[in-house]
Structure 1
Amino acid sequence: MATLNYQLDRVKNKNSKYTVRLIVRNGTTQSSLATPVEVLKSQWLSKPQRVKGGVRENDLLDSLLEKAQAAVKVLRNSNRLQNMKACAIIDFIKNFDTDVVGNSNGDFLEYWQSIATLHPKSATKYRYALKSLVDFNIATKGSDTILFRDITSEYIRTFLFYLKETPYIPQHYQQKNIIKYKQRSSETIATYAATLKAVLNCAIDDDKLSANVMKGFRKVSITRKSNNKKIYTLNLDELRRILNFDLSSYPLSIQMARDLFILSFCFQGMNLKDLYYLKTKNFHREDLNYIREKTGKEICLTLSEMDSIRRLEKPYSCKSNVWGEDCGNTDFLFAFQYHYTSYDSFKGMILKAVRKLRKILNYPNDFSYYTARDSWATICSVDYNLGQEHIDAGLGHSSKSLAANHYISINRDKIAQTHADILKRLFQK
């Protein structure tokens, strides 16, 4: 935690006086900033850090301290303060403009984007929520510029009603020049509202907005619909049918979607993002260890049928892939990061291909990439009577159960033996 206080310089200056310095300490680092105030030692009151009888000097010190405290508050609220050296804090204080922070003429969109950079895992959510706000501003005010002074309680209330009542053209329709409107789901509205609220709270903490703007949320009911979506799962016979289905006449994207779907199942329901960022060091012979991105839990699994699994991996590996690209000396297992511009573009392609695969296989709309994960859990439970705590551990859930959280009664060998038998049945000829 950063601390601020005034001290006299150790050495007299040319006027035989001592310069008052602002001392900044943060962690193990310390730095100082010379103030324009010069005093005799007899004039300096060390405990209250005031100049005896010096009204003008004390006003200068108070003004500088207020500026420094405001700067430190901004750094703290933006999560930059903890690892920042004291000298860097001094530089930030020197360049800190309290007028910009105190008034409401700043660019709200730039501030939004600065907050979004602090949350890279939620970048997509911040981007789409911001786009909807800009679309609203264009529709109501004819401008794509939003200043802090524009953000009022009434503005927030009107925007939330806009999300609920105004249809929009989805991006995948826009890309195809199709004019087809849809209503936003309650889940989408709640997500955008929560994202906006997070940015507003940061702006309030940074003294850029008044807390009164939050009244706009109290005037509009934002609720999420209960998730009653049916969980669709496949048994091993159906998974084997997908594995052996002849897709040679179909586009590469559909073949890839099938292979990654099966790999997800083989890796105990690995999420697509974890698959995308998988590295060669995560493998050690037949052991696969990685940190699940969603929950931060370490997943440790032992794989069997490695020859079959390697055959699924090889077409998309960095060393030899279907695109014929040389990825050089890389740590990643797959070449996805070198062939696609971003994870979002890769994910969009896979999910679109999964929908096409669903039609080819004549499966219902409930079939998705996530079906591989749900199927692994269901097979473990139904076919092998594996307890919930073991399934939670295998999937890397942030479960509320004591056993799953602390791994008190979990038998890792039991999970490994179950998974080995599942893979043996899946790849049987």
Structure 2
Amino acid sequence: MKNVSIKLKFRRSVNPEKEGSLIYQLIYERKVCRITSKYKIFNHEWDEATGQILFSSLDSSRDSQLGMIRFNVDWELHQLCKIVDTLALSGQEWTFSDLTSHFNSFIDKDSSVFHFIQMQIQRKKQLGKVRSSETYQATLNSFMSFRCGVDLTFDMIDSELMELYEAELQNRGLTRNTSSFYLRILRTNYKLAVEKGLTQDCHPFKRVYCGIDKTVKRSLSFAKIKQIKELDLSLTPSLDFARDMFLFSFCTRGMSFVDMAYLKKKDLKNGYLTYRRKKTGQLLTVEWTRQMQDIIDKYPINPTQYLLPLILREDGSERRQYQNQMMKINRHLKDIASLIKLPVSLSLYYSRHSWATIARGKDIPLSVISEALGHDSEITTQIYLDSIKSVEVDKANRKILKDL
């Protein structure tokens, strides 16, 4: 790209209430070419000093749109650079007309794997599926690393490439379940691209593992749960808090931490806690017990709408607060495990497995506890859960908690 300058510029709108246009400016042999992109932003969303799009912390939906625009613009700038390099290497004379012709024919980015997945990530964010968007982003980052940042089209994905990617994941030390996780997300996007007619289905995933291996259940005995509860942690508030959150999860039938963090005060009514699972959308009702109330009473009332003292500010950083709390609590739980000489690396996830295992040990029917951790299929588990009456589950929970 010698002697060629390519920059992103912005043509402001005369009317500040209307959007201006983002432009690609090329300078070659003292000649200037400007290609108007299809992307528009408002005047206040452009930083002239840095030549970049500005984000607003006050409007997350607009930030999501601007993020998509910036990704698309960066992608197109990258393609312009590649086209210039290709024209330069050809050894033939070329003009701006040649460049814009190549660029316009290449501007259909739907066949780009990186771009396609990024668009799915943005779509999931707009639908409020934040966790799903994060797993897609992790997969994209992993695959881009494998490709050394070199994009490709869907018709370039074949079984040989997927075998190489699987081998690379295993060489990084990832478990078979983790590599399968990345491959399944890639497969989902590939099938979606096939549905959109971007490529023919060449079955590139037929030689790689996309299943789910059974894992060792992570559970504690009731005696260990009680030992954790009876620890004197009054001199270490951080460990005390981690222990309380672990016990709250156990008392609420192994409630996941994300659901705990987003519990609202209004979810607790007439002696019952009603919430919708973030993961599945399923509505659950849990009888409120003395053990749960004891934990709540230990801490000052949360100034926000949330029930537990996990998310303490409503300023757009709620998800980051939840993630930080989860990391800190899991770290402190490992310290608690050391105090009672547990031979495991204790984490919040143990509460869910422990509740199910202890329930089984107390002869509570499998249909009541739904065998949530024993099914190979989440669909089967959901069928069980849908058929259980809430009163039966609460009765089971009281049976478990009466000795705690």
* TM-score band w.r.t. shorter chain: 0.5 to 0.7
- Matched with 1:346 is 325
- Matched with 2:205 is 217
Pick the aligned partner of 1:133 from 139, 143, 146: 143
- Offset from partner CA, 1:156-208 (integer Å, 9 cap, x none): 443333223x32xxxxxxxxxxxxxxx1110111010111112222233334x
Q: What CA distance in whole angstroms lies between the structure 2 residues aligned with 1:255 and 1:295?
A: 30
1:184 aligns with 2:174: yes
Q: What CA distance in whole angstroms lies between the structure 1 residues aligned with 2:322 and 2:132?
A: 13
Q: How does 1:147-162 map to 2 (within 5 A)?
A: 147-148=152-153, 151-153=156-158, 155-162=161-168
Describe the shift of the 1:331–1:365 C-alpha distance in structure 2 as closer, same or farther (beyond 3 A): same
- Matched with 1:371 is 350
Describe the shift of the 1:393–1:289 C-alpha distance in structure 2 as closer, same or farther (beyond 3 A): farther
AA of the residue aligned to 1:187: N
Pick the aligned partner of 1:232 from 219, 237, 241: 219
Describe the shift of the 1:114–1:356 C-alpha distance in structure 2 as closer, same or farther (beyond 3 A): farther
Q: Secondary structure at the match of 1:333?
A: coil
Deviation at 1:263, TM superposition (A): 0.2
Pick the aligned partner of 2:306 from 332, 352, 370: 332
Q: How does 1:1-400 map to 2 (within 5 A)?
A: 108-119=113-124, 120=129, 121-138=131-148, 144-148=149-153, 151-153=156-158, 155-164=161-170, 166-167=171-172, 183-207=173-197, 209-211=198-200, 214-218=202-206, 220-224=207-211, 226-235=213-222, 237-250=223-236, 252=238, 254-305=239-290, 308-314=291-297, 319-320=301-302, 327=303, 330-338=304-312, 341-365=320-344, 367-383=346-362, 385-392=363-370, 400=380
- Offset from partner CA, 1:252-304 (integer Å, 9 cap, x none): 1x332211110011112111111111111110132111122333332222223
Q: Secondary structure at the match of 1:211?
A: coil
Describe the shift of the 1:242–1:125 C-alpha distance in structure 2 as closer, same or farther (beyond 3 A): same
- Root-mean-square deviation (Å): 3.4
Bigger mean CA offset, 360-369 vs 272-281: 360-369
Larger RCO, structure (CA 8 Å, separation 6 or more): 1
TM-score by length of 2: 0.61
Deviation at 1:378, TM superposition (A): 3.2
Contact 2:276 2:284 in 1 (8 A): yes
Structure with bigger gyration radius: 1
- Matched with 2:29 is none
Q: What CA distance in whole angstroms lies between the structure 1 residues aligned with 2:354 and 2:215?
A: 18
Structure 2 residue ranges without an equivalent (≥5): 1-103
Structure 1 residue ranges without an equivalent (≥5): 1-98, 139-143, 168-182, 321-326
The runs of at least 4 consecutive aligned structure 1 residues that moved more than 6 Å come to 99-102
Deviation at 1:222, TM superposition (A): 1.6
Describe the shift of the 1:280–1:135 C-alpha distance in structure 2 as closer, same or farther (beyond 3 A): same
TM-score by length of 1: 0.57
- Offset from partner CA, 1:48-99 (integer Å, 9 cap, x none): xxxxxxxxxxxxxxxxxxxxxxxxxxxxxxxxxxxxxxxxxxxxxxxxxxx7
Q: Secondary structure at the match of 1:117?
A: helix
Contact 1:336 1:346 in 2 (8 A): yes
